[in-house]
Amino acid sequence: MSAPPFATVLVANRGEIARRIFHACAALGIRTVAVASEPDRHAAWHRDADHVVPLEGATATESYLDQAQILTAARRTGAEAIHPGYGFLSENAAFAEACANAGIVFIGPPIEAMRRMGAKTAAIELAMEAGVPTVPGARQDERGDAGLREAAKRIGYPLLVKASAGGGGRGMRLVREAAELDDALQAARAEAKSAFGDDTLLLERFFERARHIEVQVLGDQHGGLVHLFERECSIQRRYQKIIEEAPSPAVDEALRARMTGAALDLARAAGYHNAGTIEFLLDDQENFYFLEMNTRLQVEHPVTEEVTGIDLVACQIRVAAGEPLGFTQADVSLRGHAIECRLYAEDPATGFLPSTGRLALYRRPHGPGLRCDDGVATGSIVSPHYDPMLAKIIAMAGDRDAARRRMIRALRDTVALGVRTNLSYLLTVLEHPDFATGQTYTAFLGEHPELATAEAEVDEDVWLAAAALEALGAAAGDPATGAVVVAAADGGPSGDPWGRLGRWRNGA
């Protein structure tokens, strides 16, 4: 048995992605350290770590984005490496450099590759140098808005105003005619400054019927570089993906070869190793254009893992330790189809406002071909301080329609009571005829607002009754083993001796 790549890894993240990394580390024989903010002190996800370090502060800025606290926790626990997950510090080159200066391995790409690919303008320039097609557009120059107005005339409308340092749809505005441009520039610049501390803007041509296709790449420090095929991420709401799948129903073998080849060319040009994603826009004529590179693990990485059988997180860790990939492109093949749905605590009936509170009852789906990456349990608190994603549900089958039908069943079997969720919304999308035939594009959800109105109204009394019945059932015992188990507020066995008495209580 080979030695673990590291003895101890600190995971600088929270929720489902932290738990996912803990599991990968455990399989490699690595001790794990979790960090937990004040609202996460009693969270379900960090119980899968070997050690937990409390962080001061409630907001992301005060806790998970506080580089000094993270590095102090790593030093105190003897962590040799830090895995940032996604979001938070995962694409922060300054943090990666601080890790290196502290003698701690940052589980991610080279610092210079992060810097270059993290800036959209620099990434586009590199893509052009590598011969990779790019979206017609322009970047902000010394003439400021005047230069952007001139560029907009050349590019034509509709177009997108984008923050150079941005992501997740922040600092982005769709402009359909010249009269809207100035207001869009002002709004995008203000949002970009607030979110990223950088108000540099780009203009890009907007394609009405385009798909969002991304290629997963993976490289080691010895020159090994492979692609793990593509993912379809066109089902987006306000530029935020909610359903992803692999492979794309729109990509045939010839197009796949062109897109994956372009992705590898760009990754080589960037001197890239570890996991990364090259994002493309695909028009209805099978022309593709480079959008950006995500220099980290993606939220939707499970669908790639399911169709290739490759553990991306384990590969990240091994590569960061200096190990070779151990396989070549010829060893990677596609098997079946996988679909992922993101379960959010949000209310489609109120414009998808986040829904906070306590999960009165949570039950993940189970069955053949199903996977659920989550970070919550019955009793978990959904905090207003962080992203409202509760879980990622992944369905795998031999073909796309079988995976879609399996996902529909999985969503119907999922229970998340106590907060509003997008569960019914996801079901209506999956059951839509256009989704069933793979006819989707990035504007799909925006053009079908009626899908959000299909969300079922559930009375809060029904939530409470269901949760109470579940608790009574748990108190009655496990029918498979006969053991008496009482559901604690955090979802685990309570250990309460009175609880072991089942429904009997001393007094009323």
Query: Which one-letter DSSP state was computed for residue 487?
Result: B
Does 164 score more than 90 pLDDT?
no
- Do 359 and 246 have their domain in common? yes
Range of the domain at 480: 474-501
Work out the average pLDDT over 190-195.
Answer: 86
DSSP 51-93: EEEE-S-SSTTTTTT-HHHHHHHHHHHT-SEEE--SSTTTT-H
Hey, what are 202's tokens? Answer: 């780009």
- Do 424 and 448 have their domain in common? yes
**Rounded Cα gap, residues 182 and 458, in angstroms:** 43
The model's pTM: 0.86
Work out the average pLDDT over 42-61.
Answer: 96
Supply φ then ψ for residue 221, to 5 degrees. -85, 10
Work out the average pLDDT over 254-271.
Answer: 98
Q: How confident is the model at residue 33 (pLDDT cuts 50, 70, 90)?
A: very high
pLDDT of residue 367: 96
- Do 189 and 229 have their domain in common? no
Does 508 map to a domain? no
Q: pLDDT digits over 203-261, tens only?
A: 999 988 899 999 999 999 999 999 999 999 999 998 899 999 999 999 999 999 999 99
CATH of the domain at 261: 3.30.470.20
Does 507 score more than 70 pLDDT?
no
- Do 133 and 248 have their domain in common? no
Does 494 map to a domain? yes
Helix 111-118 vs helix 93-101: crossing angle, to nearest 10: 170
- Decide which of 154, 178, 205 is a domain's last residue: 205
- Do 72 and 149 have their domain in common? no
- The letter for the amino acid at 479 is P
pLDDT of residue 474: 53
- Do 181 and 306 have their domain in common? no
Does 345 map to a domain? yes
- Do 78 and 144 have their domain in common? no
- Decide which of 205, 224, 240 is a domain's last residue: 205
CATH of the domain at 89: 3.40.50.20
- Average pLDDT of the chain? 90
Work out the average pLDDT over 184-198.
Answer: 88
CATH of the domain at 195: 3.30.1490.20
- Do 78 and 43 have their domain in common? yes
pLDDT of residue 107: 98
pLDDT of residue 215: 98
Hey, what are 120's tokens? Answer: 């959209």
CA-closest candidate to residue 16, choices 77, 75, 86, 83 = 86
Does 398 map to a domain? yes
- Do 48 and 181 have their domain in common? no
Specify whether the backbone of 171 is left (phi greater than 0), alpha (psi in -120 to 50) or beta: left
pLDDT of residue 468: 66
pLDDT of residue 212: 97
- The number of domains in the chain is 4
- Do 33 and 83 have their domain in common? yes
Residue 506 CA to its chain's centroid (Å)? 47
Does 3 map to a domain? no
* Percent of the chain surpassing pLDDT 70: 88
Q: pLDDT digits over 94-119, tens only?
A: 999 999 999 999 999 999 999 999 88
pLDDT of residue 493: 42
Q: pLDDT digits over 297-314, tens only?
A: 999 999 999 999 999 999
pLDDT of residue 486: 39
Work out the average pLDDT over 417-438.
Answer: 97
pLDDT of residue 467: 62
Asked if 161 contacts 145 with a C-beta cutoff of 8 angstroms, the reply is no
Does 243 map to a domain? yes
* Percent of the chain surpassing pLDDT 90: 78
Query: Which one-letter DSSP state was computed for residue 493?
Result: B
Does 161 map to a domain? yes
Does 463 map to a domain? no
- Do 415 and 395 have their domain in common? yes
CA-closest candidate to residue 240, choices 284, 299, 295, 317 = 299
- Do 424 and 483 have their domain in common? no
**Rounded Cα gap, residues 79 and 50, in angstroms:** 12
| Most confident by average pLDDT, 236-250, 458-472, 484-498 | 236-250
- Decide which of 174, 205, 236 is a domain's last residue: 205
Does 321 score more than 50 pLDDT?
yes
